Copies of this chain bind each other. A is one copy, B any other.
Amino acid sequence: MMQNAVVQQLRQGGVRVTPQRLAIAEAVLNSSDHPTVQQIHERVQQHFPSMTLATVYSTLGVLSKSGLIQELPFAKQSRYESNVLPHVNLVCVGCGNITDADDGSEIIVRLREQVASETGFQAMWQRVDFHGWCPACTAGQPETASAAD
């Protein structure tokens, strides 16, 4: 069961496992839309109505330091990523949606190796964002939900 993996990784970091933390972890890990703090809060509040934003912020910090998720700072606010493996984020400037590209991971890994061998920089993790137009927004300018960052 996936929950066990989360529990283990949290305990390994010496932090307490609470129902709130599990709910927040699950909310992010089961998402693929790179939710904002507000969105995560709204989703988790359905199960924990009294949970505040402070707890969400605190927990997202814990989860990031534990390596379970990744924070993606944008100009207006941060979004959160469940895919900690090397990949490309596709950020649409039209609708604001952020999706993961299905491939590109091998190229990123190779790029890391190349940079490491030529500059001596030891990368621990990376962020690769492509900003542009998703297929839907390229076709006909659709209902522009909200401009991206």
Q: Is the CB of A73 within 8 A of B71?
A: no
Residues of chain B within 8 A of A122, CB atoms compared: 132-133, 138
Partner among B73, B75, B126, B149 whose Cβ is within 8 Å of the Cβ of A128: B126
Binding stretch for chain B, among A18-26, A44-52, A111-119: A111-119
Given contacts A127-B131, A131-B126, A132-B123, are A107 and B104 in contact (CB under 8 A)?
A: no
In the complex, the count of this chain's copies comes to 2
Hey, which chain B residues are within 8 Å of A78, CB to CB? 75
- Asked whether A103 and B125 contact (CB < 8 A) given A73-B149, A149-B73, the answer is no
Choose among B73, B101, B131 the residue that contacts A115 (Cβ–Cβ < 8 A): B101
Docked CA distance A133–B125 (Å): 10
- If A88-B111, A107-B111, A112-B130 touch, whether A102 touches B119 (CB-CB below 8 Å) is yes
| Chain B residues within 8 Å of A134, by CB | 120-121
Whether, in the assembled complex, A42 has its beta carbon less than 8 Å from a beta carbon of chain B, the answer is no
Give chain A's interface residue range (CB within 8 Å of chain B). Answer: 35 or more
Residue from the list B74, B133, B138 in contact with A73, Cβ < 8 A = B74
Task: Please state if B75 and A101 are interface contacts (CB–CB under 8 Å).
Answer: no
Interface positions, chain A 73-115, Cβ under 8 Å from B, are: 73-75, 78, 88, 90, 92-93, 101-104, 107-108, 110-112, 114-115
Binding site for B on A (CB under 8 A): 71, 73-75, 78, 88, 90, 92-93, 101-104, 107-108, 110-112, 114-115, 118-135, 138, 149
